[in-house]
């Protein structure tokens, strides 16, 4: 298949582009700027543009059999000065269905949106959280376009473990340094609570499965392992060869601040993905420990 990965220069998109190419697909990545020298997809064809403007035309999208949308922005991308309503409309509730509609008009036959698990697992969260409400609207807006000729579906994954050289590696730099024992100002504990985690590699496999076997109009709640934040922090420490045991406290932590715990500190977002859907999409499980080790390797190499 000839595939365009929107957001293909980011962490999830890059893992997806590499995985698709390894399995014989003709892959182009789409991003807002040129590829950096250390990008793992620097040799891929690049379609520059910005879905939030939007800047692409039907003619540019027409050559592709399928499109993977992996560029959805979240609270990390929103600046304090941004108008919240405008930001979420542009990047989610309006922007994502708009690029899907452009793809459908261009004759693209398959569209896979990578969303987020919150609204599918806990619909009540969308009632009070503008970010989750926007994710929900983006998901439903894309799937409303689906029909027999435009096979559009959404994957809603949990917290993703992965890094590639560049911004994602920089984001984990302090956490890996702490795990290695090099941040004496950050105490050795994790906040109470937890969530489901999934590796970027497993998600890339699910995306490939959705391109080939996804049901038009479906929303798939994908995921892997339910871990407490303490277990995840301990995995990081173990991955760098540390011999410390991480405790658990009902306190905010600099590496997992309360603002990043959407369900609230002390609560856990745990679930098991549907076994039939796991088989349909064809992704592996029990991959989190390996993914943490790979993340540490990427971050360490980037220093």
CATH code for position 78: 3.40.50.720
Residue with tokens 């540490």: 296
pLDDT in tens, 255-301: 999 989 999 999 999 999 999 999 999 999 999 999 999 999 999 98
Give pLDDT, residue 88: 77
As a whole number of angstroms, the distance between CA 256 and CA 174 comes to 12
Choose among 141, 146, 145: nearest CA to 119.
141
Whether 295 is covered by a domain: the verdict is no
For 220: left if phi > 0, alpha if psi spans -120 to 50, otherwise beta; the answer is: beta
Whether 192 is covered by a domain: the verdict is no
Does residue 210 surpass a pLDDT of 80?
yes
Give pLDDT, residue 167: 79
Whether 255 is covered by a domain: the verdict is no
> What is the total count of domains within the chain?
1
Q: How confident is the model at residue 302 (pLDDT cuts 50, 70, 90)?
A: confident
Q: What are phi and psi of 256, to 5 degrees?
A: -145, 70
Whether 29 is covered by a domain: the verdict is yes
Whether 75 is covered by a domain: the verdict is yes
Give pLDDT, residue 77: 67
Give pLDDT, residue 59: 97
Give pLDDT, residue 206: 98
Average predicted confidence (pLDDT) for the chain: 94
pLDDT in tens, 221-248: 999 999 999 999 999 999 999 889 999 9
Quickly list DSSP for 21-43. HHTT-EEEEEESSPPPTT-TTTT
Percent of the chain with pLDDT over 70: 98
- Give how far Cα 274 sits from Cα of 111, 151, 280, Å: 22, 21, 10
Give pLDDT, residue 168: 82
Residue 24 domain boundaries: 2-161+197-224+272-284
Whether 263 is covered by a domain: the verdict is no
If you average pLDDT over residues 16-45, what whole number do you get? 94
């Amino acid at each position: 298949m000839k595939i365009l990965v929107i957001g293909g220069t980011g962490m999830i998109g890059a893992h997806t582009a590499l995985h698709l190419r390894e399995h014989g697909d003709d892959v182009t990545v789409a991003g807002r700027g040129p590829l950096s020298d250390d990008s793992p997809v620097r040799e891929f064809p690049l379609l520059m543009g910005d879905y939030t403007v939007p800047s692409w035309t039907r003619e540019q999208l027409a050559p592709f059999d399928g499109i993977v949308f992996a560029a959805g922005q979240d609270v990390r991308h929103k600046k304090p000065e941004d108008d919240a309503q405008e930001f979420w409309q542009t990047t989610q509730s309006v922007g994502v269905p708009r690029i899907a509609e452009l793809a459908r008009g261009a004759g693209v036959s398959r569209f896979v949106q990578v969303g987020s698990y919150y609204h599918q697992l806990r619909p009540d969260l969308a009632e009070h959280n503008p970010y989750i409400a926007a994710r929900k609207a983006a998901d439903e807006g894309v799937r409303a376009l689906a029909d027999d000729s435009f096979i559009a579906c959404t994957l809603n994954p949990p917290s993703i473990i992965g890094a590639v050289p560049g911004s994602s590696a920089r984001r984990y730099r302090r956490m890996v340094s702490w795990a290695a024992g090099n941040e004496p100002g950050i105490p050795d504990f994790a906040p109470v609570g937890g969530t489901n985690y999934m590796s970027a590699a497993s998600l890339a496999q699910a995306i490939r499965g959705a391109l080939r076997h996804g049901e038009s109009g479906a929303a798939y709640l994908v995921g892997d392992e339910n871990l407490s934040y303490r277990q995840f922090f301990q995995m990081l420490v173990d991955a760098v060869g540390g011999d410390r045991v991480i405790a658990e406290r009902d306190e905010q932590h600099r590496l997992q601040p309360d603002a990043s715990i959407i369900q609230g500190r002390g609560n856990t977002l745990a679930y098991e993905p549907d076994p039939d859907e796991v088989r349909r999409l064809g992704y592996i499980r029990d991959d989190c420990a390996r993914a943490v080790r790979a993340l540490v390797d990427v971050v360490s190499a980037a220093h």
